[in-house]
Structure 1
């Protein structure tokens, strides 16, 4: 096995070298340069095509042999999605990475740099960064400097443009990977010495937070599962970016609870014109799938959260709230609600939007 791997690496290395030097190669060239029979070179070529290590560049015609090109061993991108939501001058940037290690690296360096960002946190492999429109000065480079920084955020029409200054590995991500992420419309870069500065263009979307509660009974259903199903359902709509699903614990002293008294919160990024359809879809989906007639949803649009909403969420973690209070606050806060008594917990879910998981899951932690 070791001999086979060594031969494979030798042949693939030669294919990559010729691709870099000449743009493409033929089977005969590989056979001649490595000193193996042409039939052996053809067998290896066929095998590496199947493994997607090399690609057919031009099929053979007449006396012209087929030409191939070698692919790099590096992944095309680790940046799965990059998108943004905007609420007046407040912007939230979402960067979903395929690597938890890279997500941790970016959180660490973006957080150290500060720059145009006021908060940087990880939500699984999703990096969530908030900042205001504007620009700052920030240096990047070798430690103790951060390796990357968002130095400016601006809005131009329906686009958000991030200016990212980078050094080392982040420069490769900026020049080679970010443009391939879903949600990115364009990336323009320029290099000055060993520093790369790039402009990342994304749509200025709106944040949609949906709270859900009271969809189960003692014998059927689970609100967290139905909420996640709704996240997937709406997330399949064109142009909608699913963001996250969170569970929050409310007061355990409520007699009507089916178990521990939890509610769910799901988040999306969407264009303004899509929001009415999302709300209708959410209400219809929950009404049709809920095991309980008491289901309720609450929909909050935007990044901001008034203090009265947070106070309501805090109260729901320790006290009983009647439905009239919930309806009154929802109307005053511009939050759409639908359903029965479940709107009490659903409104609490969107009121707690932005709290960390430890806070959401432990009502004893003050907010």
Structure 2
């Protein structure tokens, strides 16, 4: 076994192109979410298609620009390429294994794809170390098949739904949500992004556009409560509405609910929001217990959707 740290990988192969490699796990559901960011679209698009073809632990992948988001099964799984496929090449995620506060991701790459898993991903920001079975796995390129085990810190995913922080006179929920995400500099927490969710524009007590916002973080398990406290305090101290709603969901898979459709097509009540959240296991953390809970829960349930979340129900991009 050969173990190299990111700086040693960089010294051996020179600086390469991966800007981020991050893994979040949801052991209750048996799934992981991996984020990979490259300097350019080409490698990410090629990796996306080849990993999908190879199977292994990968369930699905989504690429936006230079970033790929992968959903994978926790455990080890066979892949669909090997020595007989070296003319085609290929790359695969073979396993995601949780070991305490670390996650071992096991990769295979044939031909030029071996550079990606042995040299490029292995020096990405966020990597703790990479393990190789032998020197053969460090002979990248050509017709070689390389395998590497890239070890990363274990993160979990947490999503917050926020609504009703503004009035007709001032404020904007999406701005406050974005500021909250960017202001969070807690150790062990990574801000992943903010989304604006279009709700039912016929709601009688809306401000103007009737949207809710979601902010998503990767968080080390021991930092979860600190992050929840930070978001609650940041939003409530800056909100100009007495009805602010804030809820959160810890996990990769969001709960399924007819409430998601209804928030875009019907007029709902706070009592309905409270009952649905209790049924789903979504936690409200706001102090107001006001009408903002209606949109906060609705926004959260759309957090993993595509661009259509910003549109009216049934509207296609």
- Specify if TM > 0.5: yes
The corresponding residue for 2:108 is 165
Distance 1:168 1:119 in 2: 23
Quote how far apart the aligned CAs of 1:269 are: 0.9
* CA shift for structure 1 position 126: 2.7
Note if contact 1:110-1:146 (Cα within 8 Å) is conserved in structure 2.
no
**Aligned match of 2:20 in 76, 81, 86?**
81
SS across alignment from 1:184: coil
Q: Matched residues in 1 for 2:311 and 2:128: separation?
A: 37
**Rg (Cα) greater in structure:** 1
The equivalent residue for 1:363 is 313
Superposed CA deviations along residues 286-340 of structure 1, whole A, max 9, x for unmatched, are 1112232222111110123333xx3211110111111111112222333221143
CA 1:105–1:216 in structure 2 vs 1: closer, same or farther (change >3 Å)? farther
Q: Which of 219, 226, 237 pairs up with 1:277?
A: 226
Q: Which residue of 1 aligns with 2:216?
A: 267
Q: Distance in 2 between matches of 1:331 and 1:305?
A: 14
Q: Which runs of 5+ in 1 are unaligned?
A: 1-70
C-alpha distance in 1 between matches for 2:225 and 2:117: 35
Moved more, 314-323 or 80-89: 80-89
Could you tell me how far apart the structure 1 residues matched to 2:228 and 2:98 are?
A: 26
Equivalent residue for 1:325, pick from 263, 266, 272:
272
**What is the CA-CA distance between 1:119 and the residue it aligns to?**
0.8
Report the alpha carbon displacement of residue 129 of structure 1 after superposing the two structures with TM.
0.7
The residue correspondences of 1:46-61 to structure 2 (distance < 5 A) are none
Match runs of 1:27-106 below 5 Å: 76-88=15-27, 89-106=30-47
1:313 to 2:251 alignment: no
Shift in Å at residue 352 of structure 1?
Answer: 1.6
Distance 1:245 1:104, change over 3 A: farther
Q: 2:237 maps to what in 1? A: 288
Q: 1:142 to 1:361 in 2, by over 3 A?
A: farther
- Contact conserved, 1:240 with 1:271, CA < 8 A, in 2? yes
Deviation (angstroms), 1:111 = 2.4
Higher relative contact order (CA 8 A, sep 6+): 2
Assess, with a 3 A threshold, how the Cα gap between structure 1 residues 266 and 168 changes in structure 2: closer, same or farther: farther
Q: 1:102 to 1:292 in 2, by over 3 A?
A: farther
CA contact (8 A) 1:264 1:349 kept: yes
What are structure 2's unaligned runs of at least 5 residues?
1-9, 138-142
Please report the TM-score for the alignment, with normalisation by the length of structure 2.
0.84
Aligned-residue Cα RMSD (Å) equals 2.4
Higher helix share: 1
Instruction: Name the structure 1 match of 2:190.
Output: 241
Partner of 1:114: 55
CA contact (8 A) 1:217 1:258 kept: yes
CA distance in 1, matches of 2:245, 2:70: 30
Aligned to 1:334: 281
The separation in 2 between residues aligned to 1:288 and 1:327, in whole angstroms, is 23
Match among 325, 333, 347 for residue 297 of structure 2 = 347
Q: Alignment partner for residue 212 of structure 1, among 145, 157, 162?
A: 162
